[in-house]
């Protein structure tokens, strides 16, 4: 089963913007947000959560069915398409009964294959688009697996939502963006339209612009931004919601970048620079091959003396030394560190295999 191109089921030009509150709270909050965001040209889809997966109990867990009726009103009064989060077959039935246009599954659902399978089973034979948020933890396979479960049931109008990953390390973000994962998922699931949810990545409204720009820099197809008429009084995710006016300002300031363009001069320049990169990468591989031959030789020597494949001291020194060399060349520390961790891990693996 293949993913249906997004422009076959949405009025899509360049990118899409989904706006609306984290949670539907009252009818007037929902309708006033919808009427305000409708005035922003780019916004074609309205979001509001009616069932909220909150971390702690005894907090606001969503308004439930009532909220779906408000979303129906939004559609009738503004013409915006509507979407909400679902986590089980009952939610899906209620959404379909209330003409919700698009469903999304949240990060806490994507993480659980049982739940995803239940949802996919109950969508079989229905023609409703589904947006799949990444799982809370940075496990790309779980995300790909969820997409596959929908495709297996013939649900092909799919969108991925990158909302960041939770981390135990101190971070300026509520959920670390780990940009290499949204980049990698495009290789693993060709044709998947990918949008970014900067609100849940940032966790604070001040960082939404920066995260959104980064999403456009890697050619994502859109944004989902939590929007509330009075964010500081919101019943959930207060700090990360923006007003409709702030949303408009954010969108105005963003540079949307396309993946391709039809300028011949630009294409020629790019091809010539890329052929330089190709030649350098080939040289890099030649060097890695020579390096690997030496790794083999060292491995043989270690076997003779019954020495382990890994010497922790050597690894620490090797990384430190390369980071210093890299610093002199103005290469980012984490980049040099990561590259040599991978190279060294491959050496240890090769030597371990020699010892088997």
Calpha distance 299→293 (Å, rounded): 10
With CB cut-offs between 5 and 8 Å by kind, which of ligand PEP, Mn ion, none does residue 133 bind? ligand PEP
SS3 155: coil
User: 136 is written with which tokens?
Assistant: 């809370």
With CB cut-offs between 5 and 8 Å by kind, which of Mn ion, ligand PEP, none does residue 107 bind? ligand PEP
Site for ligand PEP in 181-200 (CB under 6 A): 197, 200
With CB cut-offs between 5 and 8 Å by kind, which of ligand PEP, Mn ion, none does residue 101 bind? none
Count CA atoms closer than 13 A to 48's CA, side-chain side: 39
**Does the protein bind ligand PEP through residue 22 (CB under 6 A)?**
yes
Which region among 66-74, 100-108, 116-124, 330-338 touches ligand PEP (by CB under 6 A)?
100-108
Beta bridge partners of 45: 18, 81
Nearer to ligand PEP, 109 or 347 (CB): 109
Which region among 105-113, 114-122, 259-267, 337-345 touches ligand PEP (by CB under 6 A)?
105-113
74 touches 30 (CB < 8 A)? yes
Which region among 31-39, 101-109, 139-147, 288-296 touches ligand PEP (by CB under 6 A)?
101-109
Calpha distance 186→194 (Å, rounded): 8
In angstroms, give the least distance from the CB of 313 to ligand PEP: 43
Calpha distance 157→166 (Å, rounded): 27
Measuring CA to CA, which residue among 98, 140, 90 is closest to residue 115? Answer: 90
Site for ligand PEP in 132-151 (CB under 6 A): 133
Residue 343 φ then ψ, to 5°: -60, -45
Beta bridge partners of 43: 17
- Using CA atoms, how far residue 177 sits from 25, 163, 166, 217, 250, in Å, is 28, 7, 9, 14, 19
Beta bridge partners of 196: 162, 223
User: 145 is written with which tokens?
Assistant: 């697996």
With CB cut-offs between 5 and 8 Å by kind, which of ligand PEP, Mn ion, none does residue 81 bind? none
**Does the protein bind Mn ion through residue 43 (CB under 5 A)?**
no
User: 187 is written with which tokens?
Assistant: 């290789």
Out of 45, 237, 242, 295, which residue is the one contacting Mn ion (CB under 5 A)? 237
SS3 311: coil
Nearer to ligand PEP, 22 or 247 (CB): 22
Helices (runs of H) and strands (runs of E) counted in the chain: 13, 8
Nearer to ligand PEP, 236 or 351 (CB): 236
**Does the protein bind ligand PEP through residue 163 (CB under 6 A)?**
yes
Site for Mn ion in 2-41 (CB under 5 A): 22
Site for ligand PEP in 40-99 (CB under 6 A): 49, 53
Nearer to ligand PEP, 115 or 331 (CB): 115
Measuring CA to CA, which residue among 197, 249, 255 is closest to residue 225? Answer: 197
Out of 43, 63, 107, 202, which residue is the one contacting ligand PEP (CB under 6 A)? 107
Contacts with ligand PEP, residue ranges (CB under 6 A) = 22, 49, 53, 106-108, 133, 163, 197, 200
Contacts with Mn ion, residue ranges (CB under 5 A) = 22, 237
């Amino acid at each position: 089963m293949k993913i249906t191109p997004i422009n076959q089921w949405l009025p899509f030009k360049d990118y899409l913007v989904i706006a609306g509150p984290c949670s539907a709270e009252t009818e007037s909050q929902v309708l006033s947000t919808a009427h305000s965001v409708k005035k922003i040209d780019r916004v074609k889809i309205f979001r509001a959560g009616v069932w909220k997966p909150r971390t702690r109990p005894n907090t606001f867990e969503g308004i439930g069915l009532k909220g779906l009726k408000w979303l129906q009103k939004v559609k009738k009064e503004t013409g915006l398409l509507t979407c909400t989060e679902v986590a089980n077959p009952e939610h899906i039935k209620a959404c379909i009964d209330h003409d919700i246009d698009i469903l999304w599954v949240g990060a806490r659902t994507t993480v659980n294959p049982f739940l995803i399978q239940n949802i996919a089973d109950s969508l079989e034979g229905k023609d409703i688009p589904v947006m799949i948020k990444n799982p809370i933890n940075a496990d790309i396979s779980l995300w790909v697996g969820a997409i596959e479960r929908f495709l297996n049931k013939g649900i092909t109008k799919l969108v991925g939502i990158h909302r960041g990953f939770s981390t135990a390390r101190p971070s300026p973000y509520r959920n670390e963006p780990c940009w290499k994962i949204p980049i990698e998922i495009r290789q693993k699931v060709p044709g998947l339209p990918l949008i970014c949810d900067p609100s849940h990545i940032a966790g604070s409204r001040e960082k939404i612009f920066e995260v959104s720009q980064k999403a456009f820099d890697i050619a994502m197809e859109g944004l989902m931004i939590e929007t509330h008429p009075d964010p500081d009084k919101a019943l959930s995710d207060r700090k990360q919601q923006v007003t409709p006016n702030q949303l408009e300002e954010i969108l105005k300031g963003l540079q949307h970048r396309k993946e391709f363009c039809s300028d011949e001069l630009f294409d020629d320049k790019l091809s010539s620079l890329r052929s330089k990169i190709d030649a350098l990468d080939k040289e890099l591989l030649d060097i890695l091959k020579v390096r690997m031959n030496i790794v083999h030789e060292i491995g043989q020597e270690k076997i003779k003396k019954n020495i382990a494949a890994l010497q922790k001291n050597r690894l620490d020194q090797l990384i430190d030394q390369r980071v210093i060399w890299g610093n002199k060349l103005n290469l980012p520390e984490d980049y040099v560190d990561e590259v040599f961790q991978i190279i060294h891990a491959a050496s240890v693996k090769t030597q371990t295999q020699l010892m088997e």
